[in-house]
Chains A and B, each alone.
Chain A
Amino acid sequence: MLELIQGLSDSILNNLKLYQVNQNDIIIAAKGDLDLSGYCSTSYVLGTKEALITIIGDGDKVTYLENKDIEKLSCEQLVSTGLLIATVEGVDYILCQFTNSCLREFSLLCRLFEKIKQGQVLEEKDYKMHELPLTCPKCGSFYEDPVRKICPKCFDKRKIFFRVLSYVPKYKFHITIMLILMLISSALNVFIPYLTGNIFYDEVLKQGGSLFGKIAFIVISIALVKLLATIISILYGRINSTFSSKVIYDLKTEIFNALQKLSLSFFNSKQTGTLMNNVNGDAMNLQYFFHDGVPYFIVNIIQFIGIFTVMMIINWKLTLLALIPIPLVTYALRKLFPVLGVLYSRMFRQNSSLNSIISDSINGSRVVKAFGREEAEIKRFSVVNRKNYEVNVNVNRINQTVFPLIYFFMGTSSLIIWSVGSWLVVNDQLTFGSLISFTGYIGMLLGPLEFMTRITDWWSNCMNSASRIFEILDTVPEVEEHKDAIKLPNIKGDITFKNVNFEYEPNKPILKDINFEIKAGEMIGVVGHTGAGKSTLANLICRLYDVKEGQILIDGVDIREISLQSLHTQIGFVLQETYLFMGSIAENIAYAKPNATREEIIEAAKIANAHDFIMKLPEGYDTIIGVRGQSLSGGEKQRIAIARAVLLNPRILILDEATASLDTETEKQIQEALERLVKGRTTISIAHRLSTLRNADRLFVLENGQIKESGTHEELMKLKGNYFNLVKKQNEALRLRGV
């Protein structure tokens, strides 16, 4: 913003002169990129202590408003554009229009304008957009997505390649042996055609040859050489398998460790979500890279040089002639692969949409059956299946047509050798054995050609996989432990929010300027409409996310300075969505405290009123529950989650709709038990059912991310505000149902 003010052009400044405004008077500014009807243009909104001036285009439209007349300046976000709106005498006026790219700047403008109106003096720090670092620390260029702190510039494929290789040095021994084996095997491969061609025909079968008639000897030699080649390839394959699997094992371990450290926001973000889906596939890709790709490449290069040399020595003219078709074939292949690549990726996408339909309808099988939609599902499937089939046919047809043709053209090399070679043999310029060796060699030369022409695609494919993996490994967790984080082994339980602002996605504020103090031991109830930000508030206390502005203090210490360990072992959180892991019920209850004794587990289960239903299960606490605890009812799962939090014996207990799926009777029992437990610790309980909160010391009413009312039940009832209305509505609803 400050740079913008410094860099204003002369024509803009001239416009300002008409209103007696100097460049030095300007303290806030923003630049828009559209005119009022949506065309690309530039617009400036400039503010001084007294007034706000909007200049659209080159002064096509200039609006001058005095600050004292503007009741409110706000940004309104439309679908992909924003409007800057000034409210004057209760009426909204559009000052300018801009695309999403400028939204941050304009929201800052509005915030600063508010400060100016309140008579505050702006400081340097006010101009900073409260955001994560936006640039790459290495090269200083902008991240294109601040959530993914990955700099596109520093993502150099070659660097990635070396980084992939950096996983290798640990296995020096393996690699040395593999390289030696590769060399021997290449040498043997080059030698075999020579043995079966030149030596066999020219020395053994021909009269006067040095080995004439020694058939047994040559056959045994050939057999031995082939046996040796086989043994070497077996050895090589075994070593390679251990080696490449080990490298990938290391890498996968590292990926999973990195995943555990990442912040929630990484998993939530859409872009990084797709990154996750493919982690395993990407790792597989790298495994191929080590296991097949690199070795194949090296062997072929060595072999190519070997064969070429031998051929040149035998007859260099014939060699060069035979190589003529190679550039042509290479060219054709290079043209062909991009097209095939597109077809393949289309096939791949069709395939995955087929897969997702299958898993969609299997996961939703209850709904499908409940609404009797089996036929419709079959139809939905068959539409995609049909498309899939068509794409498959198409790809295979092209494959089956193009490749035979290409192989035919490759075959012209052999034709050249046969024709020119035979002519040379007849004229005694080439031995018969050399001709046989040649035909063998040319096949070996052309075989890897297909792979070699694809090597760049294949390479960049592997590097992309690698880059995605490194992207995960390199992501700096947003919620990070402070360098000298304080250990608070005995939290008292005071919680203070100071001007807390929070948003999940840029420019979509969820919590706005939240201020409150909770004393240790208090029980606070939080109510509010769905989507008001209640769970978000709870997430912030646990530091699952960091606040964007303001501070959260526990016992007077900023939670960003408290070690995550002391935070998470002393805050018990019963989440709105219960998640149970694969494992026994006991393990699930003891999830946050694995060293809990059996007594402690049972005690916690009793408090959560889960003991009795667990005892009804034939395997009791050892009952294995599947992914998400599918075999349990909603209320049963919830009670296990409560037990989990209770077992932790936390100083601060957060219950987010913890008893929502329970009947009133069970809820009452749990409440009584919790009440005993809750004594002396800070409790924050979020609930829709207001009766749940009747024991709360104070209630907060959250609306649209702001605390609208707070106080005891009686105080709020007297206020006759939002809370009063909520209570009234719920009572009416209960009466209607006759409860």
Chain B
Amino acid sequence: MSEITYLKPKNAKFFRNNNGFLGLKFNDVEYSRVNLIKAFPFSYENKFISVRDKEQNEIGIIEDISLFPEEVQKLFTEEIERRYYLPKITKIYSIKDEFGYSNWEVETNYGRRKFTIRRDPNNFVNIKANMILIIDVDGNRYEIPDYTKLDKKSFKKIELLL
């Protein structure tokens, strides 16, 4: 497919700017800040990542981040983590239902959180196999990467929602 410009370790040099953003030098053009956007956020997490400049014009696509050297991969993961900020729920302390909403208190890999979700199938989505995406009333997103791996008590609390 000639329509797609692929960024390869050979022609694309990524680096971290002193202001914390990801920069890129590609075909002799230097971009002080580029954004990484996943084409398939759920089905191919580390593949087909669109690299865009400040004005959101596509510079090219990274076919697979594992093609890049390890330290660059680390830059990618950091950048992606920031854009697709998605705390992983590791433990559920409580779920309280109230008037069509439920109040959750959970432990995540980013610390303890409290949030409210509207009781609606669209806010509690089984994205794939055992993974669940939760969207709260403010539009914040949380993930249960694998509900079968939750501890028993936590699992019991969401069992009826599945």
Query: What 0/1 pattern do residues 88 to 117 of A give for CB contact below 8 A with B?
Result: 000111100101110100000000000000
Quick check: is A634 within 8 A (CB to CB) of the other chain? no
Does A38 contact B33, Cβ atoms closer than 8 Å?
Answer: no
Given A79-B141, A80-B140, A349-B121, check contact A152 B99 (CB 8 Å): yes
Q: Specify which of A79, A80, A81, A91 is in contact with B19 (CB 8 Å cutoff).
A: A91
- The answer for the CA separation of A486 and B100 in the assembled complex, in Å, is 41
Does B160 contact A80, Cβ atoms closer than 8 Å?
Answer: no
Does B120 contact A274, Cβ atoms closer than 8 Å?
Answer: yes
Q: Specify which of A41, A79, A91 is in contact with B85 (CB 8 Å cutoff).
A: A79
Does B141 contact A80, Cβ atoms closer than 8 Å?
Answer: yes
Quick check: is A675 within 8 A (CB to CB) of the other chain? no
Does B83 contact A79, Cβ atoms closer than 8 Å?
Answer: yes
**B residues within 8 A CB of A97?**
82
Does B85 contact A78, Cβ atoms closer than 8 Å?
Answer: yes
Does B85 contact A271, Cβ atoms closer than 8 Å?
Answer: no
Majority DSSP secondary structure for residues of B touching A: loop
Q: Closest B-chain residue to A38, C-beta based?
A: B110
Query: Considering only CB atoms and an 8 Å cut-off, how many residues of chain A contact the other chain?
Result: 32
Does A101 contact B112, Cβ atoms closer than 8 Å?
Answer: no
- The answer for the CA separation of A448 and B83 in the assembled complex, in Å, is 57
Does B139 contact A92, Cβ atoms closer than 8 Å?
Answer: no
Given A94-B20, A144-B137, A152-B100, check contact A80 B85 (CB 8 Å): yes
- The answer for the CA separation of A153 and B98 in the assembled complex, in Å, is 9
Does A271 contact B139, Cβ atoms closer than 8 Å?
Answer: no
**B residues within 8 A CB of A99?**
85, 138, 140
Q: Specify which of A80, A94, A152, A271 is in contact with B98 (CB 8 Å cutoff).
A: A152
Does A40 contact B110, Cβ atoms closer than 8 Å?
Answer: yes
Min C-beta distance of B99 to chain A, whole Å:
4
- The answer for the CA separation of A328 and B84 in the assembled complex, in Å, is 52
Does A101 contact B120, Cβ atoms closer than 8 Å?
Answer: no
Majority DSSP secondary structure for residues of A touching B: mixed
Q: Closest A-chain residue to B81, C-beta based?
A: A38
Min C-beta distance of A40 to chain B, whole Å:
4
Quick check: is A270 within 8 A (CB to CB) of the other chain? yes
Does B141 contact A40, Cβ atoms closer than 8 Å?
Answer: no
Does B83 contact A78, Cβ atoms closer than 8 Å?
Answer: yes
Quick check: is B150 within 8 A (CB to CB) of the other chain? no
Quick check: is A18 within 8 A (CB to CB) of the other chain? no
Quick check: is A342 within 8 A (CB to CB) of the other chain? yes
Does B138 contact A145, Cβ atoms closer than 8 Å?
Answer: no
Q: Specify which of A91, A100, A153, A338 is in contact with B140 (CB 8 Å cutoff).
A: A100
Q: Closest B-chain residue to A99, C-beta based?
A: B140
Query: What 0/1 pattern do residues 5 to 49 of B give for CB contact below 8 A with A?
Result: 000000000000101110000000000110000000000000000
Does B140 contact A271, Cβ atoms closer than 8 Å?
Answer: no
Does A144 contact B116, Cβ atoms closer than 8 Å?
Answer: yes
**A residues within 8 A CB of B148?**
none
Quick check: is B118 within 8 A (CB to CB) of the other chain? yes
Min C-beta distance of A439 to chain B, whole Å:
40
